[in-house]
Every structure is written in structure tokens, then in C-alpha cells.
């Protein structure tokens, strides 16, 4: 695959409820279920971009990079994602909505998806593949690399 240069940053936030690990996902009003993700600005590190995107798209403040999960070629519109697990000290609700100014403004509805469970039909194929990549990285011992 060579050296991929990421142009998108993806924020992965996890929580554990009992024995179940869950990942933060949102429902876009016209584009289905997806991860928090956005463009890496010219003078921005991928980890900083993931933190910024989490604030812009989910309203979550105070996140910090926990570990880099890898660089993934989305196979979609030339997107190459740098995927970062972010730590958030605040207890996040089970469900919430956040209005973002992206693309003229959208209301994103956030929820937690249990890891290892099949995504619903509301997920576009690129996000299903992204979930598979993230789950594989979270289960791989080699994924424990320091954040960028």
C-alpha cells in the first residue's frame, strides 16, 4: 500500500458499560450513521484535527489523544483517514444532539454502538468498512502505538 498521506482525521471515543465496549457514532440527517471525521487543515496534526472535529461535530470539549489506531484508505473520494482514539474525562450521555455549522448546518444525533455488533442499514458502506478497520485495530495488540 505504500505510505499513505492522510487528509481526514477520525475521532474514536469509547466507553464501557459493564462488559460491553461501545463506540461513539452519530446519525447524519441525510448521510446515515458515521464517525466523527473531517479534513486535516494545512498546519494541523492529524491528532489535533481529530480533537477539533470532536468539538465541532459533537460539542465535546477537553478530549485528548489516547492512541493512534492507524491510517486507513477509505476507497472513497480519495479520502485517507488518520484514526485516533480520544480520551474524554467527562461522562457522556447515552444520547444527545449537537448542531454543527458544517455544510450550512446540521443536527447530528449521537449514540453508542456496541463493538462487535453488526451495524444497521443506516450505515453507508464506507462507514461499515471503517468500523471493521477500527474494531480490528482495537483488538490488535500492535495497535498500542503512541498518538501523533
- Band of pLDDT at residue 5, cut at 50, 70 and 90: very high
Q: Which residues pair with 37 in a beta bridge?
A: 10
Contact 112, 131 (CB under 8 A): no
Chain centroid to CA 47: 11
Q: Could you tell me the pTM of the whole model?
A: 0.91
For the segment 105-121, the average pLDDT, to the nearest whole number, is 95
Q: Give the C-alpha separation, 116 to 34, whole Å.
A: 16
Please name the residue that has the C-alpha cell 465541532.
56
Residues with Cβ within 8 Å of 120's Cβ and at least 6 positions away in sequence, in order, are 33
pLDDT tens, position by position, 74-104: 999 999 999 999 999 999 999 999 999 877 8
For the segment 47-57, the average pLDDT, to the nearest whole number, is 97
As its CATH architecture, domain 8-143 has: Alpha-Beta Complex (3.90)
Domain spans in the chain, listed from the N-terminal domain onward? 8-143
Amino acid at each position: 500500500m505504500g505510505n499513505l498521506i492522510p487528509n481526514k482525521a477520525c475521532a474514536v471515543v469509547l466507553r464501557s458499560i459493564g462488559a460491553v465496549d461501545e463506540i461513539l457514532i452519530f446519525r447524519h440527517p441525510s448521510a446515515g450513521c458515521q464517525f466523527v471525521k473531517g479534513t486535516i487543515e494545512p498546519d494541523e496534526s492529524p491528532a489535533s484535527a481529530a480533537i477539533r472535529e470532536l468539538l465541532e461535530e459533537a460539542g465535546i470539549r477537553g478530549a485528548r489523544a489516547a492512541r493512534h489506531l492507524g491510517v486507513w484508505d477509505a476507497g472513497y473520494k480519495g479520502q485517507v483517514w488518520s484514526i485516533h482514539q480520544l480520551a474524554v474525562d467527562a461522562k457522556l450521555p447515552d444520547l444527545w444532539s449537537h448542531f454543527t455549522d458544517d455544510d450550512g448546518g446540521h443536527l447530528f444525533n449521537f449514540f453508542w454502538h456496541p463493538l462487535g455488533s453488526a451495524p444497521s442499514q443506516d450505515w453507508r458502506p464506507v462507514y461499515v468498512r471503517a468500523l471493521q478497520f477500527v474494531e480490528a485495530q482495537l483488538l490488535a495488540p500492535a495497535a498500542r502505538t503512541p498518538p501523533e
